[in-house]
Amino acid sequence: MLKASWVEPENNMGDVCPLFRKKFHINKSISSALLRVSARGVYEAVLNGRRVGCFVLAPGWTAYERRIQLQEYDITSLIEEDNTLTLLLAKGWYMGSIDTYTEDRLKGRSCAVIAELTLTYADGSVDIIGTDNTWQTSQSGLRFCDIYHGMIFDASFEADFCGNAVVSVNNGQDTLIPQQGPEIIENERLRPVEILHTPAGETVVDFGQNITGYPEISVTAELGDRIKLSFAEVLDSNGNFYNANYRTAKCLYEYICRDGQQIYRPSLTFYGFRYVRIDEFPVDIRPENIIAVVVHSELRQTGRITTSDPLLNKLFQNILWGQKGNYLDIPSDCPQRDERLGWTGDAQAFIRTACYNYDVRRFFTKWLSDMRVEQLKSGAIPDVIPAVFTGIHSPAWGDAVTICPWQLYMTYGDRSFLSFMFDSMKKWVDYITSVTKDKGLWTGGKTYGDWLELKAPKGHRKGYTRDELIATAFYAYSSELVCKAGRVLGIDISKYEELHSEIVARFKAVFEDDFRTQTEHILPLYFGLTDRPDRVAESLVAMIHADGDKLQTGFVGTPYLLHVLSNNGYSEIAYELLLRKDFPSWLYPVTKGATTMWEHWDGLKPNGEMWSAEMNSFNHYAYGAVGDWMYGVCAGINPVEQAPGFARVHFAPISTERIDFFRAELDTDHGKICSEWHHENGVTVYEITTPVPSTALIEGKNYELRAGVHRFENNKKVV
């Protein structure tokens, strides 16, 4: 419990961001200074002109009505004799225009900060300085700041601090929780790769990489000079700046200069961009005037893939960038347009790849904690977490509640993901049981279908895959995951075992032998809902051929497509799809210069046109889910259910003549795992490094492996 109060400026400042200030004098030797801060909004704390900590957009985004993270900074080294502590507050996700769907959530809200500084002196005495009505307030140079709409900063503005803070009406502290997720930080700085002059006569800086973050500008200017930038992810087919796909997100970047040399970067908003159009700038822009600062949650990279195929390598890099760009405190769908929401369906589709690429434990602990508190009484899971709206509770979206904890348990071997989420997992399954119109099936609900499936009725974003097939398949999968989790936790799950058997039986009775789309084949194969996997796989392959050897899947089918092919003896077809360069395919965007994953297989069409501006993100990680096939099948690095967290590994690499060399490595709590293969004089050589005793299945033969390095060729183990 803090002694401080939540405070706001006494006068409403409209769009202008308020500053709060406290001056204090120290006259004794100090042994420590600990600052705790949080905000309803986003804040930046500055002590004696120096930024406190490196958390950008603190306190992050949570289900604010229930949980707001409180940050702690050790600021001992920043303390002087005379001190000025200021807090700059912007609307952020709390009150900004983050939700275009409803204004309701803003009712009764106002932005506020809370801060408490604990000064411990060498003589053991303690002073506490907390936000209260003695703090001064002022308008700041940040004249406007919003997540979607960007910012306007006036560097010439002089704060006067003639106002006072008032204690918020809503002064409770029960929502404050210790910092739970990783901090959002500035991770990289990219220099321009080119300054372009487009056919339309515009000056556009190309950073060579689609990122999430903001530009830092550095310029010598005169008072009142203006800088105005615009953002885009792509150029159109004529090489012109194009950002109609940002929809209503204004993404303003307007800066009014003071006199002299100045460096500025925003810190209370962010943009998704590769290109920056220079609408106004005091000098002819040069590369040294602008840098792109990459911002995302602090994550340790754990997985790496390198191959002999440059396009595949680029795809892997794009998958990583897709994750970085969208793991900004929550797993978002995209970082640029007026959305940037924690869409559950996208998060579950990508989580396996995510867990290979980076250590996402803390990241998901926080997000799942929000999911837990946002789950509705009925057991329904809102479509986006934090739940700025609750949505339709679609299958494959709500199932994030079972799929994510299970994957985290498998990757990290930590049962607490399951124990923490078990009730929510059950409640979701019970919810389906309570709303379905047909026992053992999930019928009658609303769904997003196989979102963005390629073949779709005109004007529709859902393909032809039947709602009730998807819904029932995920109902089966979620109930199975409840059973698995219950077994790990030693909880009686007989009710869910019965339910699962019933759903499987009903699914088979209703759908077996009548699968009409690729995804309709994929789901029963992957979720074990068919008695005749051979026939279904054969029929899937026939359908892929009939579709011109092309995938047709959307968000729901795509993550499992290559798995069901390789699981059923069709790995060469899976490789063909993986390596295909023409639309539709994973490499098609790469051939078009993509640096992140696209929302649509044809975000930029072969004829140069854009998919409709109304929904066309070039940084949407969902189709990056193919990364887990690259780790798990190409390199064959798999966790084992009986010894999760890679305490044992099951290596099952499947090589192909289409690629000369493939290597993946993975840092685990047990050590580094590597798996690679290459072709040498007509034979494929596999090399596996395992830090733990493991099993391997290589070219049809099983091996027990000791910890160490192992080499296989000509169908035998040679080292």
Contacts to ligand BGC by CB under 6 A: 333-334, 339, 343, 345-346, 448, 451, 620
Instruction: Give 206's DSSP letter.
Output: E
Q: How far apart are CB 638 and ligand BGC at their closest, in Å?
A: 27
Q: Which one of the listed residues 374, 599, 665, 713 is annotated catalytic?
A: 599
Angle CA 256–259–263, to nearest 5:
65
Q: Which residues pair with 30 in a beta bridge?
A: 121
Q: How far apart are CB 571 and ligand BGC at their closest, in Å?
A: 29
Measured from the CB atom, the residue of 36 and 352 that comes closer to ligand BGC is 352
Query: By C-alpha distance, which of 696, 700, 134, 452 is closest to 709?
Result: 696
Query: d(Cα 653, Cα 638) in Å, to the nearest integer?
Result: 10
Residue 233 CB neighbour total at 10 angstroms: 28
Measured from the CB atom, the residue of 341 and 577 that comes closer to ligand BGC is 341
Residue 528, exposed/middle/buried by CB under 10 A (0-12, 13-18, 19+)? middle
Known catalytic residue: 687? Answer: no
Query: d(Cα 592, Cα 603) in Å, to the nearest integer?
Result: 10
Query: d(Cα 603, Cα 541) in Å, to the nearest integer?
Result: 26
Q: Which one of the listed residues 44, 116, 298, 339 is annotated catalytic?
A: 339
* Contacts for 176 with CB less than 8 Å, ≥ 6 apart: 2, 38, 68, 69, 70, 114
- 266 preceded by a cis bond (ω within 30 of 0): no
With contact defined as beta carbons under 8 Å apart, do 33 and 104 qualify? no
| Residue 678 parent element (H or E) | strand 671-680
Helices 558-567 and 518-527: crossing angle in degrees, nearest 10, is 60
Residue 677 CB neighbour total at 10 angstroms: 25
Query: d(Cα 394, Cα 344) in Å, to the nearest integer?
Result: 9
Q: Give the tokens for residue 552.
A: 């047709």
| 3-state secondary structure at position 683 | strand
Diameter of the chain measured on Cα atoms: 83
Query: d(Cα 83, Cα 379) in Å, to the nearest integer?
Result: 50
Distances (CA, A) of 719 to 637, 661, 709: 19, 19, 7
Known catalytic residue: 520? Answer: no
Q: Give the tokens for residue 14.
A: 């409209």
Q: How far apart are CB 451 and ligand BGC at their closest, in Å?
A: 5
Q: E strands along 525-660, which residues?
A: 637-639, 649-651
Q: Give the tokens for residue 421.
A: 């989420």
Query: d(Cα 97, Cα 338) in Å, to the nearest integer?
Result: 8
Query: d(Cα 69, Cα 335) in Å, to the nearest integer?
Result: 22
| Residue 640 parent element (H or E) | none
Q: Express the helix, strand and coil content of the chain in percent, nearest 5 each.
A: 30, 30, 40
With contact defined as beta carbons under 8 Å apart, do 39 and 192 qualify? no
Q: How far apart are CB 469 and ligand BGC at their closest, in Å?
A: 17
Residue with token string 């759903």? 503
Q: Which residue is nearest to ligand BGC (CB)?
A: 333
Q: How far apart are CB 101 and ligand BGC at their closest, in Å?
A: 11
Query: d(Cα 564, Cα 6) in Å, to the nearest integer?
Result: 54
Q: How far apart are CB 254 and ligand BGC at their closest, in Å?
A: 27
Distances (CA, A) of 356 to 340, 402, 404, 668: 23, 19, 13, 9
Measured from the CB atom, the residue of 75 and 380 that comes closer to ligand BGC is 380
Measured from the CB atom, the residue of 329 and 333 that comes closer to ligand BGC is 333
| 3-state secondary structure at position 57 | coil
Measured from the CB atom, the residue of 233 and 665 that comes closer to ligand BGC is 233
The backbone torsions φ and ψ at residue 360, rounded to the nearest 5 degrees and listed phi first, read: -110, 20
Catalytically active residues, by annotation:
339, 599
